[in-house]
Amino acid sequence: MPNRESGNAPSAARWWRGNLHMHTFWSDGRAFPEEAVAMYKARGYHFLGLSDHNVFQDDPCRWVAETGRERPFAEYLAAFPRAAVRTGGGGVREARLSTFSELAAMFDEPDRFLLVPAFEATRTVEYGSGRSHQVHMNVVNAPALLPLLASPGFVRTESGVRLAEFISRHASETAALARSLGREAVFMLNHPVWQWYDIPPEVLAETPEVRFFEVCNNGTEIEPCPDLPQDGFDTDRFWDVANALRARRGLPLLYGVGGDDTHCYRGEPHGGMLMPFNAWTLVRSASLDAASLVAAMQAGDFVACEGLEPEDVSFDRASGTLSVSVAAKPGAARTIRFFVSKADFSETPLRTFSARPARDGDRTTHERDFRVYDGKIGLEAKTVAGAPGEALRASYSLAPDDLYVRARIEEPGEPLCSAFLHPRHRLVAWTQPYRLTEMR
Ligand SMILES: [Zn+2]
Ligand SMILES: [Zn+2]
């Protein structure tokens, strides 16, 4: 864990490693919450959000049956012998799910580990002709469910509503809920490129209240569409299109988060997807408490990681210079790339087309519409390659026509996230985008 060198002051900020996107038996994850938390804590994670679908874990009377969960039951009861077990209807054994408060009491430790309340609002919007958008949104640090999700159900479907309006409605409800609880919450658009740009990036230019999205999620199970340029439709491209449009409109920039979206904890066959420890978020704050972590994220002081962490990231607002460093690692040759979007990019797409993914899991597929913009969006402005085994530091100063700059650190290696929309053959860390004046 690289810490920032900030002197010996007790308030010195440092990096904290966390995963804010994971599931348990409270929804469709395949582990008891204690198992999930214990696994990450033992690995050295500092904070976690158990983001189960459409449920906050506060019901003290939620039981799950052993049927179909024989191995998890046996392993859970061996590891947590004090778990509450009963015999339910039909003589089937049931175990009670621990609530958020019980889990926090069990695992939280000052300066060492923190559970943050979370849930994943899981919605579908239909927009005619059998087409629909998957809209999944994480709400972090609001220990109550949105009123919009009050009726039970795993996935809620609505039709006849514009996508931007639909997302905005959830963002405003999150803000209102957080206000009523006297705290700040993080509202995050999860895996928008699943399935193949299911949520077009242009929508993020209409929803400035969305400050966070997943640039890295370990569950995007979509094969490359043969009709599309293979490198032109990844999460980096999505991010730059959204931010170029936002910057031109004078809106806050979108920040990128990394998360495992963990569902499988026992090596279940999922092609390496939805497994622990692949993608995470590194947040820099003085102390390990939810308010500080959320404030740091809202200030953009965090990094999305897939198997690689920076040593330091700093942005000097006086000179507009972004500096990034990464520590030495035996044999590893790192590259730092800086990406900008230019102020005179064209909003008229070079071309537009509709295409259908080659394989779409077991879901009904439909065509998506794509827009290809000019190369002034997400332009690679500077590349610095390091020698094997050496530490690397690189800087980029904003040019007058740069709308923002962000950096990506890469290291050759097998990607931890095997899903198709992830960078191939390299580990990656993404800094946030920076510009001279950021809106809050
Ligand atoms: Zn999701
Ligand atoms: Zn999820």
Residue 357: the pLDDT is 61
136 CA distance to ligand 1 middle (Å): 5
pLDDT band at 126 (very low <50, low <70, confident <90, very high): confident
Average pLDDT over residues 253-269: 90
Cα(231) to ligand 2 centroid in Å equals 25
- Residue 78 Cα to ligand 1 middle (Å): 31
Q: Specify the range with the lowest mean pLDDT, choosing from 73-87, 216-230, 317-331.
A: 216-230
Q: What is the pLDDT of residues 361-389, one digit of tens each?
A: 545 566 777 888 999 999 999 999 999 99
Distance (angstroms) between ligand 1 centre and the Cα of 120 equals 7
What is the predicted pLDDT for the residue at 187?
98
Q: How far is the CA of 21 from the centre of ligand 2 (A)?
A: 6
Q: 14-62+97-430: what CATH class? A: alpha beta
What value does the mean pLDDT take over residues 228-255? Answer: 87
> What are the domain boundaries of the chain?
14-62+97-430
Closest ligand to Cα 124: 1
Q: How far is the CA of 322 from the centre of ligand 2 (A)?
A: 32
Burial 109-141 (b: 16+ CB within 10 A, else e): eeeebbbbbbbbbbbebeeeeeebbbbbbbbbb
> What is the residue-averaged pLDDT of the chain?
88
pTM value?
0.93
List the single range of 63-67, 144-148, 215-219, 252-256 with lowest mean pLDDT. Answer: 215-219
Q: What gap in Å lies between CA 138 and CA 174, rounded to an integer? A: 10
Nearest residue to 192 (alpha-carbon basis) of 245, 140, 261, 116 = 261
Percent of the chain at pLDDT above 90?
A: 69
Instruction: Give residue 238 CA to ligand 1 midpoint distance, Å.
Output: 17
- Lowest average pLDDT, out of 65-74, 159-168, 356-365, goes to 356-365
* CB proximity list for 390: less than 8 A, separation 6 or greater: 328
Higher-scoring residue by pLDDT: 56, 130: 56
Query: What is the average per-residue pLDDT within 71-95?
Result: 95
Starting from the CA of residue 51, give the closest ligand. 2
How many whole angstroms from 386 Cα to the centroid of ligand 1?
Answer: 36
Q: For residue 327, what pLDDT band results from cuts at 50, 70 and 90?
A: very high
State CA 173 to chain mean position distance: 20
